[in-house]
Amino acid sequence: MMVIRRIGARLATVSLTMAAVIALLWILLVITGHDAERALVAFWSGSFGSGYALASATLVRATPLILAGLAVALAFRAGVWNIGAEGQLLMGAAAAAAVGLRLGGEVGILSIIPAIAAGALAGALLAGIAGLLRARFGVLEIISTIMLNFVALHLVGYLVRGPLQEPSGLYPQSATLPVDARMPLLLPETRLHLGIIIAVLLAAGLWGVLRFTEIGFRIRAVGANVIAARVAGSIDVRATVLIAFFASGALAGIAGALEVTGVTYALYESLSPGYGYTAIAVALLARLDPFGILLTGTLLGALQAGGAAMQRDAGVPSVLVTIVEAVLILGMVSTTRLGYRRATSTPDGAREPVAEVTTAA
């Protein structure tokens, strides 16, 4: 019953947010002199207006947002401010592309499993760098994860112009993945792939881990109060923080792996339109609740899909949707109860006390 009530509350929040998005978008359209009615019709038809739009546009875009949102939520629940989901997603995509290209022609559909595993490992390793820097040298992960985003971006740029570049050498991208190395489609005549099911399963799994397992309790305890977790709970804060880093990076890496194997079928620099950054909004809007992220990820996916449809069908620049996203993020940040207090470094790499985020634990 508690889960049902929680999902109901999230549905209400998402519905109100969607209404606010439509209202703000209408205001921007009027101010900029566009045909608001035509643009909003295009927005709806491109996001929820048909089964094809929902499956091939909204849910396809929602898949990486949900997974990256889970990555952010897991880190934040542990008091870890992982802002590097974008870079971890890109590293996951690069690793999955490399494995898919190498194994796709040899083991066929089975290559999808090692490709996703490679993506998870690559994302975890990149996040682990920030975790080790925090644990060993007290480096703020907000800074290190942002910087590592640029490392990942430029590394992908090197790969698509070097070791992974397509055979002709004309385009800065990898070769196309073999058909057998691509995610199976769920619905015929659509672009919806098996990744959405994986995202739902991982959301349910993360919820179960946080709620019913010892490591989940440790993560929540460290995120709530480092001092109490270490002194009263005898929790190894450093180990818990590192686990949160690696697990968060793995989820973001899976998002990148699914994007390559299920959508783009090739690696290139602009593979992600900022999924890792939008995932912060996805996680905060859901108050770090895994089931809520399923809804907020779909909402943000619809916003992006509708914006693309407005630009294509009504001639409205998609930058208006970007403005709406920015206002939405600012609104969430300003209304989410973040009890920031002065942070001080400790020998185990944790900071006391950690920012308290209102969640529905």
Per-residue pLDDT at 114 = 95
What's the whole-number mean pLDDT along residues 291-309? 93
pLDDT reading at 118 higher than 90? yes
Per-residue pLDDT at 345 = 45
Residue indicated by tokens 């390793």: 125
Q: Which of 257, 249, 277, 243 is nearest to 349 (CA)?
A: 243
Residues paired with 185 in a beta bridge: 193
Q: Which residue has the higher pLDDT, 231 or 113?
A: 113
* Least reliable range by pLDDT among 206-210, 216-220, 282-286, 324-328: 324-328
Q: pLDDT category, 356, cuts 50, 70, 90?
A: very low
Instruction: Indicate which CATH number applies to the domain containing 115.
Output: 1.10.3470
Q: Which residue has the higher pLDDT, 324 or 74?
A: 74
pLDDT reading at 267 higher than 80? yes
Does the pTM of the predicted model rise above 0.85?
Answer: yes
Q: Which domain holds residue 243?
A: 2-352
Per-residue pLDDT at 6 = 67
Per-residue pLDDT at 2 = 64
* Least reliable range by pLDDT among 9-23, 44-58, 149-163: 9-23
In a domain? residue 361? no
Q: Which of 278, 288, 285 is nearest to 219 (CA)?
A: 288
Per-residue pLDDT at 1 = 62
Per-residue pLDDT at 213 = 96
In a domain? residue 193? yes
In a domain? residue 130? yes
pLDDT reading at 75 higher than 60? yes
Per-residue pLDDT at 353 = 41
Q: What is the CA radius of gyration of the chain?
A: 20
Total domains in the fold of the chain: 1
In a domain? residue 359? no
In a domain? residue 66? yes
What's the whole-number mean pLDDT along residues 218-227? 93
Question: Are 70 and 203 in contact, with CB atoms under 8 Å apart?
Answer: yes
Per-residue pLDDT at 52 = 94
pLDDT reading at 237 higher than 80? yes
% of the chain residues with pLDDT over 90: 70
**303: its two tokens:** 């916003």
Q: State pLDDT tens for residues 136-181.
A: 999 999 999 999 999 999 999 999 999 999 999 999 999 999 998 9
In a domain? residue 37? yes
In a domain? residue 83? yes
DSSP structure class, residue 354: P
Top mean pLDDT of 15-19, 132-136, 249-253, 269-273 is at: 249-253
**112: its two tokens:** 């999808």
pLDDT reading at 276 higher than 90? yes
In a domain? residue 170? yes
